[in-house]
Amino acid sequence: MAAFWTEADWDEHEQVELVHDRESGLTAIIALHSTHLGPAAGGTRFWHYADPSAAMRDALRLSRGMSYKNAMAGLPMGGGKAVVLLDENRTKTPEMLAAFGKAVNDLCGRYVTAEDVGASERDMVEISRQTIHVCGLPVEEGAVGGDPGPFTAMGIFLGIKAAVAHRLGRADLDGVRIALQGCGSVGGGVARLAASEGAVLKVSDIDSVRAQDLAAQIGGEAISPDAIMSTECDVFSPNALGAILDERTIPTLNCAIVAGGANNQLFRAEHGKLLAERGILYAPDYVINAGGIIDVGLEYLGRRDGKPYSMDDLRERIGQIPDRLTAIWRESEETGISADAVADRMAQRLIGRG
Ligand code: NAD
């Protein structure tokens, strides 16, 4: 087997921990890409991998992504990620969670964990019995932290407004046509905020009842998931799955702007260039969807430092997302480099690797 530090995804990780706890059966990888800006923060994925190298690749790729995301969110946090390798039945026991919590604690705050695929808020509470270095714990109503979905949606709404101002020269969303994919926690929030400003929405979800309910709430139209990407609109807002923008779908887009919260929207990096060649303004996903990480990041930093952040602090930081996006689009126009690549370059500069 080739050494993993020669793999493309290695990208100069600062530290990678292989954790094995014989008694509980825990096997995990904790990857710290960068602590240049602060503790490496990123969720823990509980997954059954076909082989250990697939788990390592996932940890390295996701951890670098968190470095970029946290840097562009303006948080004093670096990027990391953990994966817990589960068996085929995805067995996850309290003993494994405790052993994982101890492994996180042994890193003395260099790594801060959070929920990711396969984890629940309850699991995070279990882990927090062993370590304080956990984001996304339950909080009292009105406090910073808790469900990140509404704050992710708020950032996306502001990002869509910035894109509409930048590309269409419009100060608000009155009459702007938005095609929205995914009517869950994030998509539903974006749709409600946009509709309250007069946007005209078409929404879709593979759960048709969910789409119809949302359409009824906002006075929009529910359309089929197959039609949403090619429907004529000003803004296509993807808020469901990732990897949806590729050489097959990009030519069918019928919009001026792509701006939504789904993670990893570009199937491959070159698809950002394809969007730019079609003259479509793209809001890099990890920049526009940062509201949630800002929420849970501030929750952790406030708890760690004994100085809780206020809702005003949170709103102010989410309010900086439009300026960051506009800076990306300007640099993209000046350099001819696609917006996603400009965002990566900005993030690399922020983590001292420019
Ligand atoms: P969710 O599970 O609440 O909602 C997702 C919705 O998408 C569901 O209603 C699902 O039925 C629908 N869906 C799935 N496949 C679809 C398809 N092919 N076409 C149309 N609809 C489809 O999830 P969420 O929390 O709203 O997250 C949505 C996206 O945003 C995900 O990619 C997530 O990774 C990303 N994201 C979420 C947050 C957050 O704070 N929740 C933060 C950053 C990024």
Q: Which ligand 1 atom minimizes the distance to the CA of 188?
A: 26
Alpha-carbon torsion, ordered 338, 328, 353, 36, to 10 deg: -140
State the residue range of the domain holding 213.
149-288+322-350
- The total number of structural domains in the chain stands at 2
94 and 207 part of one domain:
no
In a domain, 330, yes or no: yes
Tell me: pLDDT of 141 over 80: yes
In a domain, 124, yes or no: yes
Mutate to test the pocket of ligand 1, among 205, 208, 286 (most ligand atoms within 8 A of CB): 205
- pTM of the predicted model over 0.75: yes
CB of 117 closer than 6 angstroms to any ligand 1 atom: no
In a domain, 159, yes or no: yes
40 and 100 part of one domain:
yes
34 and 86 part of one domain:
yes
DSSP state for residue 138 in the 8-state scheme: -
Residue 217: partners with Cβ closer than 8 Å, 6 or more residues away: 192
Q: Of 114, 112, 189, 100, which Cα lies nearest the Cα of 146?
A: 114
55 and 99 part of one domain:
yes
pLDDT level of residue 8 (50, 70, 90 thresholds): confident
In a domain, 309, yes or no: no
Q: For 261-307, what is each residue's pLDDT tens digit? A: 999 999 999 999 999 999 999 999 999 999 999 999 999 999 999 99
Q: Of 207, 199, 224, 203, which Cα lies nearest the Cα of 215?
A: 203
272 and 335 part of one domain:
yes
Q: For 52-89, what is each residue's pLDDT tens digit? A: 999 999 999 999 999 999 999 999 999 999 999 999 99
Q: Of 110, 102, 38, which Cα lies nearest the Cα of 75?
A: 38
201 and 340 part of one domain:
yes
**Chain centroid offset of residue 232 CA:** 27
Residue 307: partners with Cβ closer than 8 Å, 6 or more residues away: none
Q: What is the CATH number of the domain that holds 245?
A: 3.40.50.720
170 and 117 part of one domain:
no
pLDDT level of residue 2 (50, 70, 90 thresholds): low
Q: Measuring CA to CA, how many Å separate 110 from each of 34, 35, 54, 246?
A: 10, 7, 24, 36
CB of 70 closer than 6 angstroms to any ligand 1 atom: no
The dihedrals phi and psi of 84, each to the nearest 5 degrees, come to: -105, 125
34 and 95 part of one domain:
yes
